[in-house]
Chain A
Amino acid sequence: MIRFHEVTARYPRATREALSGVSLSAAAGTLTAIVGPNGSGKSTLVRLLLRRMPRQAGRIEIASRPIETFDARDLARRVAVVPQRESAVFSLPVHEYVALGRYPHEGPWRAAMPRDVALVEQAMGDAGVADLAMRDILALSGGEWQRARIARALAQGGDALVLDEPTTFLDVGHEMAMFELFATLARSGRTVLVISHQLNLIARFAGVMVLLHEGRVAAAGPPHAVMQASTLERVYQWPLVVTRDPAVGAPTLVPLRGTRHSSGSLPLDGSEPRS
């Protein structure tokens, strides 16, 4: 339902391309995850999806329609995006903040309908911020703020949800609850595209994983195919092993103690032996 085809993009005055010839797609009913080191181009994909930067080549399609044929609000009604960074400046109660998710459905003078109110309530419940409804967004903890932002995207409705590092700042319990929510949303037929550094959780929850490296797709496919030690070591430039988690059976990355190595050979000088 969201498809990038041979997309190349470069930031103004940058010396290299942020993305070069990237093709990937996120299908309806699947939790698709994009992983990769810092600066590998993950957030650039989001910026392109928001049409906040030009692309030099390639196509981006939403439901088989080129992205530039959408009116901005129409696009927001179909695809809800939670960008990586957001800082609030003015006080706003959480419920009003979440209600801004209904903005693409509003007219300039249209008051909130009972349906909007119900969707906002449900979004707050799903994201676990119902009890924070009257709190000021400036007074939230990092994790609460993150959940309020996800609630806003849920209130936006639409068939697709794109989240850029949605569980940063969340503790284990809230992080698991979020991933369970994403999985449920995907099962209900929505397109869910998550950018994350939590490789082990992604490996357990995602149907498809896309590994980006220096603006290119280094590996893509089901988690067990992407979670290969040799690929991950080359991309993350860190000694590691991939095992099978004894409790849940998912491929699990274990980084070893050691030092960062540049590309090429992988001298392991860590104190932990490789099993």
Chain B
Amino acid sequence: MRATLWLGGLAILGALCVLAIALGPVPLGLREVRDGLLGVGDANAIAIVRSIRLPRLTLALIVGAALGMAGGALQGSLRNALAEPYLLGVSGGAAVGAVLAFGAGVRDASTIPIFACLGAGASVGAVLLIARAAGGRADPRVLIMAGVIMGAFANAVIMVVLANAPPNTVRGAVWWMMGSVADAGWPQIRWLSAYVLVGGALLLLMARDIDVLALGEEPAAALGLDVDRSARRIYLASSLLAAATVAAAGLIGFVGLMVPHIVRAFGVRRHRPIIAGAALVGAALLVAADLVARTAVPPAELPLGAVTALLGVPFFLLRIRKLA
């Protein structure tokens, strides 16, 4: 039963990957896709497959997997089904970093992510420090509050900067905040995949601790978990995983929130399979969303963050019906 689910998921992901390479302004047949991947045949098709669609697909896979894993780990360890990877200050901090860079006149596509990542890192650090100063303990409520405070502060900074900025700065910043995998390139994919492999492995390694942490502070301590240290590690690993995706693809909402729910809906209960499943479902979801984003209204592209949110709304409406 469990093996069937995994195989089914992998098959769907594989089919989505083939579609993602085949579909676009220049549709390719299955043979052209294969030849393009192998580097034989029509030079145009090879260029489309290898330089445009494959990197974009790969970036979507990695970003989706990372957001899914971070969401699964955070929901469990914060004991909150509404937790998502950006919760602990990642999105606000990254957006402030990017907006400040745009405001300072930076237009270089490879420089903005550095600012975003620095902003996210600083913000996560600030959230953990606030929580520590408030109680010195990894209390989920304190952390969520600290994340909300940082988010509000980041919003204020963004509004102040953008209110007086020239129109194309505003446009660039807003586009960035909507998220995209359109600018995918191999060097970027290489460092991101190294980062996500390490972060994902750490979360999988700590998955059993998350199972215990999900019971609450005192029961977890009673089972011999060093609650504060373990929680801090999980928050840090998930947030930095999210920060890396933000640097590569901007802000893509709803994936990290929605994916763990989908995985749990299949009856998965322990966090090692939840995190692994969230990587699979997150990757599939983002590949599908990007496919929709670039093929729904050609030649225009929809913002990826908007597509994921549009997918998220009906999903959560269904969940609410189940709750009520």
Residues in chain A within 8 A of chain B (CB atoms): 47, 50-52, 72-77, 80-83, 85-93, 96, 100-101, 103-104, 106, 108-109, 149, 153, 156
Which among B216, B223, B225 has the greatest number of chain A C-beta atoms within 10 A? Answer: B223
Task: Kindly state the interface size class of chain B when it binds its partner.
Answer: 20 to 34
- Given the contacts A96-B269, A108-B208, A86 and B226 also touching, CB distance less than 8 Å: no
Contact B225–A72 (Cβ < 8 Å): yes
Q: Is B10 in the interface zone, CB < 8 Å from A?
A: no
In whole angstroms, how far apart are the Cα atoms of A52 and B135 in the complex? 12
Residues in chain B within 8 A of chain A (CB atoms): 76, 79-81, 205-206, 208, 211-212, 214-219, 221-227, 264, 269-270
* Min distance, Cβ B214 to any Cβ of chain A, angstroms: 6
Q: Which residues of B contact A156 (CB under 8 A)?
A: 223
In whole angstroms, how far apart are the Cα atoms of A96 and B212 in the complex? 11
In whole angstroms, how far apart are the Cα atoms of A80 and B264 in the complex? 29
Contact A82–B222 (Cβ < 8 Å): yes
- Given the contacts A93-B269, A106-B208, A81 and B76 also touching, CB distance less than 8 Å: no
* Min distance, Cβ B277 to any Cβ of chain A, angstroms: 14
In whole angstroms, how far apart are the Cα atoms of A22 and B205 in the complex? 41
In whole angstroms, how far apart are the Cα atoms of A275 and B145 in the complex? 58
Q: Which residues of B contact A93 (CB under 8 A)?
A: 269
Contact B264–A90 (Cβ < 8 Å): yes
* Min distance, Cβ B242 to any Cβ of chain A, angstroms: 21
Q: Which residue on chain A has the smallest CB distance to residue B223?
A: A103
Which among B216, B218, B226 has the greatest number of chain A C-beta atoms within 10 A? Answer: B218
Contact B224–A90 (Cβ < 8 Å): no
Contact B211–A80 (Cβ < 8 Å): no
* Min distance, Cβ B216 to any Cβ of chain A, angstroms: 6
Contact A90–B222 (Cβ < 8 Å): no
- Given the contacts A89-B80, A90-B264, A83 and B208 also touching, CB distance less than 8 Å: no
- Given the contacts A93-B269, A108-B208, A76 and B81 also touching, CB distance less than 8 Å: no
Other-chain contact of A91, B76, B221, B222, B264 (Cβ < 8 Å) = B264
* Min distance, Cβ B66 to any Cβ of chain A, angstroms: 21
In whole angstroms, how far apart are the Cα atoms of A92 and B76 in the complex? 12
Q: Which residues of B contact A47 (CB under 8 A)?
A: 218
In whole angstroms, how far apart are the Cα atoms of A156 and B227 in the complex? 18
Other-chain contact of A92, B79, B217, B222, B269 (Cβ < 8 Å) = B269
Contact B222–A83 (Cβ < 8 Å): yes
Q: Which residue on chain A has the smallest CB distance to residue B226?
A: A72
Contact B218–A76 (Cβ < 8 Å): no
* Min distance, Cβ A127 to any Cβ of chain B, angstroms: 16
Name the 8 nearest CB pairs between A and B, nearest first. A76-B224, A104-B224, A73-B224, A81-B222, A83-B218, A50-B221, A89-B79, A103-B223
Q: List 26 A-B contacts (CB under 8 A).
A: A50-B221, A50-B222, A72-B221, A76-B222, A76-B223, A77-B224, A81-B222, A83-B219, A83-B222, A86-B216, A86-B219, A87-B216, A88-B215, A89-B80, A89-B214, A90-B76, A90-B214, A91-B264, A93-B269, A96-B269, A96-B270, A103-B212, A103-B225, A104-B223, A106-B208, A149-B219
In whole angstroms, how far apart are the Cα atoms of A86 and B219 in the complex? 7
In whole angstroms, how far apart are the Cα atoms of A149 and B222 in the complex? 12
In whole angstroms, how far apart are the Cα atoms of A93 and B226 in the complex? 25
